[in-house]
A and B are shown apart, each in its own frame.
Chain A
Amino acid sequence: MKSKDEVISTIEIALEIEKGSLDIDTRMGSIEQWDSLGHLTILSSLDVLFDGLIGTISNISEAQSTEEILNILVENNLIDS
């Protein structure tokens, strides 16, 4: 099982932003890099992290913030709560 820190780090790398610059409240649109295309990169990078399991979660595309992404991953038992 992956950790929340690994997920956050993956999102930061996907968005090409500095380590530590993402927090739980960061939302799509709140930083320049997290636009609609950046969102696709996040989904793609998380799918790599979770070995293709992200593609099976239908509501993950609706997650608009770090917190919402983490909550969906918890609900699907991919990370610890």
Chain B
Amino acid sequence: MKIFSKISDIKYYLPPKLLSNEDLVFDNPDWRMEDIEKKTGIKYRYICEDVQTSKDIALLACEKIFNSNVRRNDIDFLIVVTESPEYIAPAMSCDIQNSLGLETSVASFDVNLGCSGFVYGLMIADSILCANNYRNGLLVCVDTYSKYISSNDRTCRPLFSDAASATLITASTKKTIGPFVLGTDGSGYTDLMVKNSGTIKNIDTERNLYFMNGSAVFMFTMRVVPKAVNDLLIKEKCNIEDIDLFVFHQASKLVIDNLKRLLKLSNEKVFENYQLVGNTVSSSIPIALSQAIDTEKIKKGSLVMLVGFGVGLSWGATIIRYNE
């Protein structure tokens, strides 16, 4: 019998420290916060405490999964999507496997991707489950961009939240995930990057800081995402009207509003949570998915398109049939 995969559970963790627009103005009195909020749509961001790391919050998200419906020794593989690991080496997934007390037979590895990472992770998990005798995989997405962002960075600080998510993906007799459309345009790799990081020559290691060329990334999104959506619809042989809900990476109001305009999507067809959650990078889609399920915007059998895009520059889109 052919084996497919399905999303069985999604849990997430948002750090307790809330950064409001008033807090940002307190730090930066010259920022016109009303204008920034009007364009980004973001009112709050969640920020890790100084001592809290990506591993810490990833573990908290994973523990929520084990508190609900799966045992640790049922996990066959662990994928950690992150651009903010505790160390460049080893892969943080190895540390997480050990800290969670997972079996040593678990296959663990990291994926270095940002806002497209959940869709890539889903494709990898689906491929592993379909090609092996595995039953359960844990897809962990975690990013703590606040560690890289300067307090006076007007482009990045109003946008990004720290967050972790854990998605349980299990074997299924029905196809519920896919097809996929993935892509990369590395010509824009400097448009979103952590400068002074890694092994680049003549590195200034004094400060690793996140950089975003906002207009270049915005134009990339407008160019690439509508095409990816349409390519996926063709691949799935369905129409845009057949999709019950679109869950885009929650980049900002400006980005989501423009995607709705270009794809002629009504507000009801597009899930949004950036207002109160911010842009949580790789966890953006799983958190949105989880909230859409909790609020019954996604119901049993709903056809949902997920679209991630960002650092790389990279993008990924897929369709899931929820809970079939």
Contacts and interface: CB of A to CB of B under 8 A. Distances in A.
A72 B242 CA distance: 38
B234 interface: no
B32 A43 contact: no
Contacts of B213: 61
Contacts, number: 53
A40 B214 contact: yes
A47 interface: yes
Contacts of B219: 43, 54-55, 58, 60-61
A78 to B, nearest CB: 15
Contact of B154 (A33, A36, A44, A61): A36
A37 B219 CA distance: 13
B191 to A, nearest CB: 9
Interface string B209-232: 000011110110011001000000
A58 B222 CA distance: 11
B158 to A, nearest CB: 9
B215 A36 contact: yes
Interface stretch (B33-41, B287-295, B302-310): B33-41
B215 A47 contact: no
Interface string A11-54: 00000000000000000000011011101110110011000101
B214 A47 contact: no
Contacts of A48: 261
A56 interface: yes
Contacts of B40: 37
A22 to B, nearest CB: 17
Given A35-B154, A61-B215, A47 B39 contact: no
B215 A32 contact: no
Nearest to A16: B35
Contacts of A47: 222, 258, 262
Given A36-B154, A55-B262, A61 B218 contact: yes
A37 B218 contact: no
B254 interface: yes
B150 interface: no
Contacts of B222: 43, 47, 54-55
B261 A40 contact: no
Given A44-B218, A52-B262, 12 more contacts: A37-B35, A37-B39, A40-B215, A43-B215, A43-B219, A43-B222, A44-B254, A44-B258, A54-B219, A58-B223, A60-B219, A61-B218
Q: Which 9 pairs show the lowest CB-CB distances between chains A and B?
A: A55-B222, A61-B215, A61-B219, A61-B216, A37-B39, A55-B223, A36-B214, A40-B218, A39-B215
